[in-house]
Amino acid sequence: MSIQELINQIHKKKSFLCIGLDVDLEKIPAYLLSEEDPIFAFNKAIIDATQQFAVAYKPNTAFYEACGIKGWKALQKTVDYLHDNYPEIYTIADAKRGDIGNTSRMYAKTFLLDMGFDSVTVAPYMGKDSVEPFLEFQNRHTILLALTSNEGAFDFQTKKVDDLELYKQVLTTSRTWKNSENLMYVVGATKAEYLQEIRKIVPNSFLLVPGVGAQGGKLEEVCKSGMNKDVGLLVNSARKIIYASDSSNFAEVAGAKAEVLQKQMEEELRQL
Amino acid sequence: MSIQELINQIHKKKSFLCIGLDVDLEKIPAYLLSEEDPIFAFNKAIIDATQQFAVAYKPNTAFYEACGIKGWKALQKTVDYLHDNYPEIYTIADAKRGDIGNTSRMYAKTFLLDMGFDSVTVAPYMGKDSVEPFLEFQNRHTILLALTSNEGAFDFQTKKVDDLELYKQVLTTSRTWKNSENLMYVVGATKAEYLQEIRKIVPNSFLLVPGVGAQGGKLEEVCKSGMNKDVGLLVNSARKIIYASDSSNFAEVAGAKAEVLQKQMEEELRQL
């Protein structure tokens, strides 16, 4: 999907909500466990109930790998279901991959071509030749970890590297890489005060912002500092939506939670 | 497997060779493609022909994910085959994972418990709480990326962070994390001159050294600067061994290539 198509969808739905499909079999309603594919059954119900309020879905691969072969099948079924039924929706494989060049190329092909995701998250530690293979695909995006939402972000990411914090080095340096127009960045919402700094370096890039909700980041602050003329934000929420209820009406409750966020986003978009 | 068992195996086999099982269907002998599971057939033949010269095997997950469900099945069959037939051999999932705490826990469980690998490679960018979940398992190891063998390593890893290069910060900081005795580190052999510096920070840790062979690192230099009283090295070779021949005697040729490296390692061990 092109960036313009994503922007169009945002304006049409008045939402920049991304829903994290971090499916844990211990947290989904117990009655789903008797389904042939409980993970997919859960995802399908969540997607159907929330899709009018969301522009993107982001399964985190860790949760699927944890279920072995069944997990990978459910992941593929989920992305196929999204593309077949809601082709305007943007899909993100939250995989945080990255390896030497020829190996990164395998990961890129797996997620962006074979599985058909619109984008994949990638870790920057191994530098240019570990990321550029992901950038080669037209209308596919690489969402590079810049400043993450966890405590450990302060171990290295915020440390000064040649007078510039590491996450700023990642932003600055990655802009020089080939096909860098296909980059987006992960910026944790728990660090909204950093967003202004980030916007100075990457004014036009889309930012994927996790941590609004369960991790405590605030939507209003994120928008104030992070929004650009193209909106430029995908705000992710996972647990607060998908695990809002564990009873038989879980999907309906998830839909209501997503709608609350969508309404807040509509308000923010009005100020654009 | 405990570190002591690994050391014992190294002395018994007079080898610290790790063989990278980076199986690419476009590179294996074509006649194997008619097998029900070509990847496993290839791995089994390579393992049987090389196991007396190697102490560890390291499948890189990218190559298996690239084959979808079939790839994951072949990966599980490979690690099971190793444990069932050669229980003294050390297994490494070269997965380069890392995520926020609860998600890293899923990855750790997947690779170290469910799949049964002795160790898994992990990226350090997200810091302490992204790595500690991997360190909780007794007699399992987390091999943290410190200084990788690719060009992109110079983008961030060798940059000065508070007067210390980032890779040294990673080494120093990670030693303070809980259960840090379960850490090993990835150090590219293409940068043998850095090994002395690294040994000042982590004198006792095992180092996984890729890049000897196809990537051009030299074994003698690596040993001179990187070996410690417990050997402390696992030197990985993949392409130069597993793709040494693409004819029907590929496994035999791989065995011969592995033996050459083992003999060189025996010589290095003699000087310990």
Nearest CB to B125 within list A99, A109, A123: A123
CB contacts of B66 in chain A (<8 Å) are 106-107, 109-110, 114
Across the range A107-131, mean pLDDT stands at 98
Is A76 exposed, middle or buried, given 0-12, 13-18 or 19+ CB atoms closer than 10 A? Answer: middle
C-alpha to C-alpha distance for B142 and B121, rounded to whole angstroms: 6
Across the range B39-47, mean pLDDT stands at 98
Can you give the length of chain A in residues? 272
Q: What percent of chain B has pLDDT over 90?
A: 92
Task: Say yes or no to pLDDT of A26 above 80.
Answer: yes
Interval B234-245: pLDDT, tens? 999 999 999 999
A154 touches chain B (CB under 8 A): yes
Q: Do B157 and A104 touch (CB under 8 A)?
A: no
Q: Do A123 and B73 touch (CB under 8 A)?
A: no
Instruction: Look at domain A3-270 and name its CATH class.
Output: alpha beta
Interval A191-229: pLDDT, tens? 778 999 999 999 999 999 997 765 556 899 999 999 999
What letter does residue A211 receive in the DSSP assignment?
-
pLDDT the model gives residue B17: 98
Task: Say yes or no to pLDDT of B198 above 70.
Answer: yes
Across the range B200-211, mean pLDDT stands at 95
Task: Say yes or no to pLDDT of B216 above 70.
Answer: no
Query: What are the sequence ranges of the domains in chain B?
Result: 3-270
Task: Say yes or no to pLDDT of B162 above 90.
Answer: no
B114 touches chain A (CB under 8 A): yes
Backbone angles phi, psi at A252, to 5 degrees: -60, -45
Across the range B104-112, mean pLDDT stands at 97
Interval A45-98: pLDDT, tens? 999 999 999 999 999 999 999 999 999 999 999 999 999 999 999 999 999 999
Nearest CB to A62 within list B99, B126, B153: B99
Residue B180: closest CA among B166, B170, B168: B170
CB contacts of B22 in chain A (<8 Å) are 103
CB contacts of A96 in chain B (<8 Å) are 97-99, 123
Strand, helix or coil for residue B97: strand
Task: Say yes or no to pLDDT of B32 above 80.
Answer: yes
Residue A131: closest CA among A97, A93, A80: A97
Q: Do A97 and B62 touch (CB under 8 A)?
A: yes
Stated as kind and residue range, the H or E segment containing B55 is none
**CB-CB contact of A184 with A208 (8 Å):** yes
Task: Say yes or no to pLDDT of B217 above 90.
Answer: no
Where residue B133 falls among pLDDT bands split at 50, 70, 90?
Answer: very high
DSSP for A57-119, written as a single string = EEEBHHHHHTTHHHHHHHHHHHHHHHHHH-TTSEEEEEEEE--SHHHHHHHHIIIIIIS--SE
CB contacts of B103 in chain A (<8 Å) are 22, 60, 62-63
Which residues, other chains included, contact A201 with Cβ-Cβ below 8 Å and sequence gap of 6+?
A: A168, A171, A172, A175
Sign of CA dihedral A50, A13, A136, A170: negative
Is A140 exposed, middle or buried, given 0-12, 13-18 or 19+ CB atoms closer than 10 A? Answer: buried
B113 touches chain A (CB under 8 A): no
Query: How far off is chain B from A11, nearest CA to CA, in Å?
Result: 31
**What is the ipTM, given to two decimal places?**
0.95
What letter does residue A205 receive in the DSSP assignment?
S
Q: In sequence order, what are the beta bridge partners of A94?
A: A60
Write out residues 37-66 of A within 8 Å (CB-CB) of B.
Answer: 60, 62-63, 65-66
Interval A74-83: pLDDT, tens? 999 999 999 9
Q: Is A24 left (phi over 0), alpha (psi -120 to 50) or beta?
A: beta
